Amino acid sequence: MLINDFFEIVHLEETGDNAFEARIQLDSNHKIYKGHFPGNPVVPGVCLSQMVKESLEKYKGHHLQMAEAGYLKFMAVVNPIKNPELSIKATIKSEENHKIVILSETTDGDTVFFKLKASYTRK
């Protein structure tokens, strides 16, 4: 888990039917940036997808496991010094047979960093 270590959720709200937004704060001093990359920190793509999952878990109130990633699209590099606070906006497209399918975007203002379509199952 990365929550409350690599990042924290500073605000979580429902934004519509089956939709939410999580405002997250990155820890720009986290040890991961010593290797990714010294002097030019970059949030690893796997961490971006994990932050979406953990935000969804917080919203739904139970642990999940990614079952399938329909697409992962990295649009821009997240530098935690330049972009210490991000927004994860997600919409649940379907929820049946213990499977949740979401579409999400990770942004800061008008900049879209990451798009994800994935399905999760309850642990």
Element (H, E) at 93: strand 85-96
pLDDT of residue 38: 86
Q: pTM of the prediction?
A: 0.96
The model's pLDDT over 82-106, given as tens digits with 9 standing for 90+, comes to 999 999 999 999 998 889 999 999 9
Residues comprising the chain, all counted: 123
The model's pLDDT over 15-63, given as tens digits with 9 standing for 90+, comes to 999 999 999 999 999 999 999 888 899 999 999 999 999 999 999 999 9
Domains of the chain, first to last: 7-122 (3.10.129.10)
Q: Are 20 and 52 in contact (CB under 8 A)?
A: no
